[in-house]
């Protein structure tokens, strides 16, 4: 939540200006965009949120201070679907590309109508960097566009380095070279597998992701500024590299979930807040929190191994078990999300299972001593800011790179060993949990996580780097 004294200070002149927002409609992208909207609204700007009304639409009633403009489906004819028939990664990539196409014409119409009725008070559009087409629409209508990257500064360096990585022969990745070091992105400790962004999937998905990364880089290069949900104490070298390599202003305004004023979370899933009461009854730093985000998945066999690894570790746990966590069709998912026979008996009295949780509050709870995560950037950032060490099991996209930083740069995480095959095994799960939650390794990671937590607090304090960066962002918007 906002630290007192700075996030709620309105800036002279801002109250007569309106900032438009267009988030990418996935949970990990919606949350930081709404947090940023809250920060700028607290500084005196009016806020209008555009959103596709046909896909993961937010609930405007939960955000009465904002105005909302639905963008209808502009699809014409067939052959422009979201790719839902492929696997979950390809479906996600296809959805991003299709959303740009489907929203272009109706967004033009909605934005033009708003501009005609607004009396000239629109300052700019802040769009997710994956919405290049919509940023182009805004510019053609005379509205400056800023790009919000909801990942780390380090991950965006991977995006920008893709042509070089191809020229140098690192990509497309070869199975025999996945663990080879990448020496052209100093000082990052990357291996080839960490920069592919595809987690070993096939050629079509690789080309899709390459296109999406290229478009995101183009969105930033043609923008009026790059906004990043990160902070100086965490990524100073990476931010310096972006400022050197990109001829646009760069604003590190994170962690946004700590700077945003109090208000309802922009969650697409219903949160089970009863888990907070369960945590109240647990001992300090005793609970392993397990959550794999809103998109990452596993197969049915891995669910069983995960369950027994957690059970056999002997530690209290809070596990977020989404209904769609298990890959496969609806019938297979329905059969697989049930936990294995005997699990409830083995863990009675020391575990809680929910379908979704208020994660930032969970991680900030005194009872949580470790976080088993898929290494999405929001989860990684929330864990760092709460001072909670991590058990790392990345899946795709920027997650492998985030995991490498957590383990080898910040040294607050432990990668779950799967012997290179990617499959979970209960004995290794149990061993990793014990190592995280017990003994010298876990204590060292917890101590370093506490140092990063302090660094984040300094950045969001009055005159801290993130606070000053928000001031610069506000002044930049007013100058556009």
Residues involved in catalysis: 29, 128
* Cα gap 468→463, rounded to integer Å: 6
Q: Three-state DSSP class for 372? A: strand
Q: Which residues pair with 22 in a beta bridge?
A: 127
Is the CB of residue 271 less than 8 Å from the CB of residue 358? yes
User: Comparing C-alpha atoms, which of 409, 412, 379, 411 is closest to residue 395?
Assistant: 379
CA-closest candidate to residue 23, choices 208, 268, 209, 258: 268
| The two three-digit tokens of residue 293, written as one number | 């985000």
3-state secondary structure of 447: helix
Stretch (H or E) spanning 250: strand 250-252
DSSP 3-state of 148: strand
- Neighbour-count burial of 55, counting CB atoms closer than 10 A to its CB (0-12 exposed, 13-18 middle, 19+ buried): middle
Question: 16 with 122: CB under 8 angstroms?
Answer: no
Single out the residue of 407, 364, 424, 450 nearest to residue 190, CA to CA: 407
Contacts for 202 with CB less than 8 Å, ≥ 6 apart: none
By the 8 A CB rule, do 334 and 295 touch? Answer: no
Structure token pair of residue 34? 């709404």
Taking each continuous run of H as one helix and of E as one strand, the counts in the chain are 18, 13
Structure tokens that stand for 349 in this block: 């009295």
- Whole-angstrom Cα distance, residue 255 to residue 456? 7
Q: What angle do CA 440, 444, 448 make, to 5 degrees?
A: 170
Burial of 289 (0-12, 13-18, 19+ CB in 10 A): buried
Q: Tell me phi and psi for residue 20, to 5 degrees.
A: -95, 145
């Amino acid at each position: 939540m906002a630290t007192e004294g700075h996030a709620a200070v309105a800036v002279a002149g801002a109250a007569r200006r309106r900032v438009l927002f267009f988030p990418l409609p996935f949970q990990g992208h919606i949350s930081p965009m709404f947090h940023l909207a809250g920060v700028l609204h607290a500084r005196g700007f009016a806020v209008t949120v555009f959103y596709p009304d046909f896909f993961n639409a937010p609930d405007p009633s939960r955000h009465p201070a904002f105005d909302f403009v639905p963008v209808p489906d502009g699809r014409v004819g067939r052959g422009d679907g979201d790719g839902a028939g492929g696997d979950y990664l390809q479906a996600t990539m296809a959805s991003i590309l299709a959303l740009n196409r489907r929203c272009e014409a109706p967004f033009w119409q909605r934005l033009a109508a708003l501009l005609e009725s607004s009396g000239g008070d629109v300052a700019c559009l802040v769009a997710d960097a994956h919405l290049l087409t919509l940023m182009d629409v805004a510019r053609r209508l005379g509205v400056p566009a800023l790009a919000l990257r909801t990942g780390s500064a380090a991950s965006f360096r991977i995006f920008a380095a893709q042509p070089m990585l191809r020229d140098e022969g690192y990509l497309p990745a070869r199975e025999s070279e996945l663990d080879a070091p990448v020496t052209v992105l100093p000082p990052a400790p990357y291996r080839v597998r960490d920069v592919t962004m595809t987690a070993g999937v096939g050629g079509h998905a690789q080309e899709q992701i390459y296109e999406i990364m290229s478009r995101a880089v183009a969105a930033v290069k043609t923008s009026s500024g790059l906004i990043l949900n990160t902070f100086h104490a965490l990524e100073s070298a990476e931010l310096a590299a972006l400022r050197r390599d990109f001829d646009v202003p760069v604003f590190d305004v994170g962690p946004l979930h700590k700077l945003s004023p109090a208000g309802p979370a922009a969650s697409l899933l219903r949160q089970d807040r009863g888990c907070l009461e369960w945590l109240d009854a647990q001992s300090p730093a005793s609970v392993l929190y397990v959550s794999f985000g809103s998109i990452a998945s596993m197969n049915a066999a891995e669910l069983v191994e995960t369950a027994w690894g957690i059970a056999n570790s002997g530690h209290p746990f809070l596990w977020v078990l989404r209904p769609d966590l298990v890959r496969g069709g609806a019938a297979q998912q329905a059969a697989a999300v049930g936990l294995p026979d005997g699990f409830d008996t083995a863990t009675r009295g020391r575990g809680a299972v929910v379908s979704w949780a208020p994660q930032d509050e969970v991680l900030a709870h005194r009872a949580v001593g470790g976080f088993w995560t898929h290494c999405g950037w929001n989860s990684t950032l929330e864990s760092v800011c709460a001072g909670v060490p991590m058990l790392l099991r990345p899946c795709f996209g920027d997650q492998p790179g985030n995991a490498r930083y957590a383990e080898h740069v910040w040294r607050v995480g432990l990668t779950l060993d799967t012997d290179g095959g990617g499959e979970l095994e209960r004995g290794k799960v149990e061993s990793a949990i014990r190592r995280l939650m017990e003994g010298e390794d876990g204590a060292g990671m917890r101590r370093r996580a506490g140092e990063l937590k302090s660094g984040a607090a300094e950045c969001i304090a009055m005159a801290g780097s993130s606070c000053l960066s928000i001031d610069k962002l506000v002044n930049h918007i007013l100058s556009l």
